[in-house]
Amino acid sequence: MADLDPPGAGLGRPTGPDAGTDTTRAVVVSADVAPSGASPDAAPGAAPGAGDSTPGAVSTPGPRRATRAGRASGHGLFRRRRPIREPGKPSRAGRNLPAAIGVGAGLLIPVLVGLLFFPIVFVGIVTLFGAVGVWEICRALEIRRIHVPLVPTLAGALVLPSSAYFGGAEGLAAAAVFSVVGLFLWRSLDPAPDAGKSLMAGAFTVLWVPFMLSFAMLLMRAEGGFLVIATLLLLVVANDTFGYLIGAFFGKHAMAPKISPKKSWEGFGGSIGGAFVVGGLCAVFLLGQPLWIGLVLAVAIVASATAGDLAESMIKRELGVKDMSTILPGHGGVMDRLDSIVFASPMAYLLSATFVSGMM
């Protein structure tokens, strides 16, 4: 077997069968090497053949060019690595996770404290969230030149939850009727261009956010209803958490690619699985109900929460905005957190009145 050449011994040596090298090895030809038949020492502009005329003489790349070739090929020490995500940058699902977790915990703690110990405080928190959500929607609709009557719309958002808590279903129905009628009277006394579009948008906003949120206040009136609301919140959190984790790592099939490209069927399956666990535990240990009620609650809440999320995504895409606002770091706006709860609250009320005996 031939001895190995010392490093650099083969540079500039003619390649051939007698050069002590493997004839099958590929040789890189530099783009700026002189033409065949021209000597490397020939002056610029010299004609081919003026110099060394050794046939087949080929120049091999120097150390610097070899380094460049190694970088381009992606092998060895110069192999390209996946860029490291800087702190604070959004994750693969588009969220700033540390900020999202911190803000989510900061919101959930006072809600649970008010829910478990101070019902009036909980009603006030829900009313505040509903009013901020209404303001965000009215502000976003301005992009499409849809001017919602802000004063009567906010008034309805402030009145509906307390009417449901103190007056029950009858109080909620009366407050909803007066809110819509107030919108029409306000626009009649203060006419503006596109009045019909403005009235429809205002009525839609009132019925979408504060009216549907007020079903949670109806649950608060029932004996043990605060436990149903706690179960509702835990199921919504399980829906978001497990859907995010499974969808971020395994999501491949989009549920609604034209509305929400990042929401996948795999993530929806993860939401169902996580909600099964949470719903079963809550039904047995919190509500004192059979396991199957927890499973029914899990499926219904996940389905309604997902529908609420997709509905808000559809509206945002129609308006051309990514988030309703930037009030909550890592989340966007208040409506970007309420979208699931808004649809899930009437579903929880309906199931409680249907399956939980003595609840309503």
pLDDT single digits (tens) 231-249: 999 999 999 889 988 998 8
Q: What is the mean pLDDT of the chain?
A: 78
Q: For position 202, what pLDDT does the model report? A: 94
Q: Which residues of 331-357 are buried (b: 16+ CB within 10 A; e: fewer)?
A: bbbbbbbbbbbbbbbbbbbebbeeebe
Q: For position 57, what pLDDT does the model report? A: 45
Secondary structure letter of residue 170 according to DSSP: H
Residue 247 is encoded by which pair of tokens?
């969808």
Q: Is 146 left (phi over 0), alpha (psi -120 to 50) or beta?
A: beta
What percentage of residues in the chain have a pLDDT greater than 90?
Answer: 46
Residue 178 has pLDDT above 70, yes or no: yes
Residue 200 has pLDDT above 70, yes or no: yes
Q: Are 325 and 129 in contact (CB under 8 A)?
A: no
Q: For position 45, what pLDDT does the model report? A: 43
- Find the mean pLDDT for residues 305-309: 94
Residue 334 is encoded by which pair of tokens?
């208040």
Q: For position 1, what pLDDT does the model report? A: 44
